[in-house]
A and B are shown apart, each in its own frame.
Chain A
Amino acid sequence: MHHSIEVQNLSFSYPDGHTALRDVSLSIAPGEKVALVGPNGAGKSTLVLHLNGILTGQGQVKVCGMELDEKTVGRIRAAVGLVFQNPDDQLFSPTVFDDVAFGPLYQGLDAADVQRRVDSALAAVRMTDYTRRISHHLSTGEKKRIAIATVLSMEPEVLVLDEPTAGLDPRARRAFINLLRDLPMTMLVSSHDLAMVRELLPRMVVMDEGRIVADGETKELLEDQALLEAHGLEKP
C-alpha cells in the first residue's frame, strides 16, 4: 500500500535566498488526519505548496504513489485539494457555482458530471442554496465553506488546509470543525488553533525554522511543555 503523501529530504530556498525548508521528510498514510503546527515563518505554507507542485524544491515528493514531476503534476493537483488561508484568494470567479465548477470544468468532465460534483460538494459543506450567490458578498465563514467545496468538487484523495479556522467567530468555527470531522479523506491541516488540533487531528507535526522538530501523537506532544515553549506554542 502506498502512502498518501511521502516527502523525502525536501529542501527549498526562495529566490531571494531565504531558506524555507531544510531536509524535510514526512509520510502520511491514507485516511490519516495530521496537524502541521509551528510559529509564523516556520515553513508550513511553503511545505504545503510543495504538495501539489506550485513550488518545487530539492528532494522527493510523492503523492498517492505518483512521484511529482512535470508529467504527473496535473494528476497530483486533482488528487490534492489545497485550501488557502484566505478564502478571497481561493474564490476568483463571480458566482459560487463558477468557482466550485472550476476544477471539474478544467479537467474537461462532461456537463452532467460537473453538475453532480458541484451539487455533492456544496451538499458536503451544507451550502446547497448558495449556487447562484456572488462569492464576493458572502461572510468569512461562508467563504471558507465555499473554499472547501471548490476543492471537494475535484474529489481529491488528500485535503490540505492552511489555517482553516483563522478569522472565524466561535459559532462558525464550531460548525467548521464539525464539517471537517465528517470529511473522510486524508487531511493535513496547518494551524495555530491547537484546541481544534486536539479535537480533530490525532497526529501532530511540529515545524520550526524550516525543519520538522517533532512528529507524534497530538495528545502526547501537547503535554510536552518544554517542546511547546521552545517553538512558540501554547497548550490549549
Chain B
Amino acid sequence: MHIHFLDPYQPRTSPIHALDSRVKLVLVLAYILTCALTPIGAWPVYILLLALIFSIELLSSLGIKFVHRRALLAIPFMLAAFPVIFTNGQTVLFSTHIGSWQLTAYAEGLERFISVALKSWLSVQAAIILASSTPFPELLQAMRAIRIPRLLVSLFGLMWRYLFVLVDEALRLMRARQARSGESGKPGARKGGSVAWRARIAGGMAGNLFLRAFERSDRIYMAMVARGYDGEIRALPMPPVSSPAWLALGGGGSLLLLLLLFGILFWG
C-alpha cells in the first residue's frame, strides 16, 4: 500500500510541460511578485493577470477545472485577510454591535479584502501550474540553478522524499489498528471503547510516528555521512538554457513588468 496521490505532478505533453524548469520557476515567481505588487483596486490589471493564467492553464492541457479544484486550498488564506474590511477606511458601509463590541465595515476595507483575495487566488493558480507541470526533482534542480540557498533546497528534497515514507508508515499503523478492531460475540459488550480511550490510542500512535521519524532521520543522516555527505547535495550541472526558453523568459518577464507598470501608473 503506497501513497501516490500526494504527488501533484500530472504527466502530459504540452509546451508548458516542455518548458525549461528554471524558466518556469522564475516566471512563476515573477508572476506572484507582480500579483503582490499590483496596487489595491487595479481591477483591469487583475483581469489581465487572470486572462494570462487561464490561457496558460489551457495551454498546459491541465484544464481550468483541474487547477481550480486545487486552488480551493487558497480559501483559508483568504480568510486571514477578512479583518481588513473592518479595520481600514473612511466610507462606512454598515455598522453593527456584537455584545459590547462595535463592528464597522468600510468600503475601502472591502476593496482591499477583495484585492487580496484575488491576488492570492491568482498566485495559488500559478503555483499549482508549476507543481503540476514540473516533476519535483526538476523543480529542485531549478531552485539550485537560480541560487536558492542549498540547505533550503536539500531540506525540500528530503521532505519530499520522506513525506511519502512517513505517510506509508502512518497508513500501516492504522491498518494494524484496524486489524485488531474486532467485535466479541459476548452479549452486552459494546465495541469501540470510550472516546477518551480512543483519543489516547490515537495520541500514542502520533507519538510513535514522531519517535520513528526522529530515529529514521538519524539513520538517514548516518547513511548520508557514510557516503561522504558534508552538508551539501551535489548534482550534475544542468544544460544551458536554450534560445526558445530564453525567449519565453524574456517575453513573459516583459509582459509581467508591463502589467505591473500599468497598474502602478494608473492606480498606484
A interface residue numbers (CB < 8 A to B): 16, 49, 52, 54, 74-79, 82, 84, 86, 88-94, 98, 102-109, 136, 150-151, 154
Q: Which 10 A/B pairs are nearest by Cβ-Cβ distance?
A: A78-B182, A74-B183, A77-B182, A108-B189, A107-B184, A89-B172, A108-B190, A103-B180, A82-B179, A93-B204
Residue of A nearest to B173 (CB): A92
Contacting pair B192 A108 (CB below 8 A): yes
| Residues 202-224 of B at the A interface (beta carbon under 8 Å) | 204-205, 207-208, 211-212
Max chain A Cβ within 10 angstroms of own Cβ: one of B180, B181, B201, B204: B180
Residues in chain B near residue A104, CB distance under 8 A: 184
Residue of A nearest to B4 (CB): A16
The tally of CB-CB contacts under 8 A between chains A and B is: 92
| Residues 155-174 of B at the A interface (beta carbon under 8 Å) | 169, 172-173
Further pairs besides A76-B182, A92-B176, A106-B191: 17, Cβ < 8 Å: A16-B4, A52-B179, A74-B181, A75-B182, A75-B183, A77-B178, A78-B183, A82-B179, A88-B212, A91-B208, A92-B204, A93-B201, A93-B205, A94-B204, A102-B201, A106-B192, A107-B183
Interface size on B, residues (CB 8 A): 29
**CA A102 to CA B177, docked complex, whole Å:** 8
Ordered by A's residue number, 27 sampled pairs between the chains whose C-beta atoms are within 8 Å are A52-B179, A74-B181, A74-B183, A77-B182, A79-B182, A82-B179, A84-B172, A84-B175, A89-B173, A92-B205, A93-B201, A94-B208, A98-B204, A102-B201, A104-B184, A106-B181, A107-B183, A107-B189, A108-B189, A108-B190, A108-B191, A108-B192, A109-B184, A109-B189, A136-B211, A150-B180, A154-B182
Distance (whole angstroms) from the CB of B116 to the closest CB of chain A: 39
**CA A86 to CA B186, docked complex, whole Å:** 31
Contacting pair A94 B207 (CB below 8 A): yes
Distance (whole angstroms) from the CB of A114 to the closest CB of chain B: 11
Q: Does B149 contact A (CB under 8 A)?
A: no
Residue of A nearest to B188 (CB): A108
Max chain B Cβ within 10 angstroms of own Cβ: one of A54, A92, A106, A151: A92
B interface residue numbers (CB < 8 A to A): 4, 169, 172-173, 175-186, 189-193, 197, 201, 204-205, 207-208, 211-212
Main secondary structure of the interface of B (DSSP, over half): helix
**Which of B173, B175, B186, B191 is A54 in contact with, Cβ under 8 Å?**
B175
Distance (whole angstroms) from the CB of A106 to the closest CB of chain B: 5
**CA A120 to CA B268, docked complex, whole Å:** 78
